[in-house]
Homo-oligomer: A and B are copies of this chain.
Amino acid sequence: MSDISIDEGDWIAIYFSNNRKYIVQVRKNKFLHTNEGTIDLSNLIGIRYGSKGITNIGEEFTITRPSIIDMYDVFRRVTQVIYPKDASQIVVLAGIGPGSRVVEAGTGSGFLTALLAFYVRPSGRVYSYEIREDVQKVAMENIEKIGLTPYVTFKRKDVRKQIDEENIDAVIFDLPDPWNALINAWNSLKNGGRLVCFLPTINQVEKVVTEMMYRGFLKIETKEILERAYKVKKGETRPETIGVIHTGYIVCGIKP
């Protein structure tokens, strides 16, 4: 992957001035058909990121490298996926950064896996557990699409039975019953390591917090992140009318 010119196999973002964006993988003899016209992707190989082009009907576009958030547009979804508002919060709460070694379960469609892999680069690693083979396969393909495979170890194992890694910086559970994997998380974490659970119902929160306290986790916090989008226009600014009002609760604790 060259940093300045487009290679075959690169995923690219194509922007039109009307705010439309397309994320696509460049292949020889592949065409992108849009409302703004058709683009022959073969022609893009070798040109520089940031270049402009025009479609067959004369619409101008700009090519950029996709951001990590653009994965939300290109990933195939086979499970409920975590929202950016929650994913970003989990990463920071868990203290995850370059070099971190993280255990995650379940992998699901791999959205959180991707974000974790993005942040632990280049020297860290994500150990992502998933029990369903079909789901894991989709996640692997998704992670491959954005070039983050080198930072992820996929495991088809049940964290409720075993976590192989030790001295881990953070454990992230997006599981229906994280309490059944608490002892494994505890043993896997280093001192000062963080456990973060993401849970849709308040009953799950109550159960896992109770168990985490019993197990000895400290600084246990429960929070919910709400996002409000605005329609901004001169003289007519207001929040969006309809939106997501609940995704899940985030529980975080420290192994002392």
Contacts and interface: CB of A to CB of B under 8 A. Distances in A.
Q: Is the interface of A mostly helix, strand, loop or mixed?
A: mixed
A216 to B, nearest CB: 8
B230 A238 contact: no
Contact of A201 (B13, B223, B237, B240): B237
A226 B223 contact: no
Interface string A115-127: 1001101110000
Contacts of A225: 85, 225-227
Contact of A237 (B203, B229, B233): B203
A15 B240 CA distance: 35
A35 interface: no
Contact of A192 (B50, B218, B244): B50
Number of this chain's copies in the assembly equals: 4
A222 B230 contact: yes
Among A13, A62, A122, A206, max chain B CB count under 10 A is at: A206
B218 A223 contact: no
A23 to B, nearest CB: 12
Contact of A15 (B203, B218, B247, B251): B218
Contacts of A224: 227-228, 230
A254 interface: yes
A171 interface: no
Interface stretch (A24-32, A88-96, A101-109): A88-96
Interface of A: 13, 15, 17, 19, 21, 49-50, 62-69, 84-85, 87-89, 91-93, 95, 97-99, 115, 118-119, 121-123, 190-192, 194, 200-203, 205-206, 209-210, 218-230, 232-247, 249, 251, 254, 256
29 contacts: A15-B218, A19-B218, A49-B192, A62-B192, A66-B192, A68-B97, A97-B121, A98-B122, A99-B121, A119-B119, A201-B238, A202-B237, A202-B238, A203-B206, A205-B237, A206-B232, A206-B233, A220-B232, A222-B229, A222-B232, A224-B227, A225-B225, A226-B227, A228-B246, A239-B245, A241-B244, A241-B247, A242-B245, A243-B245
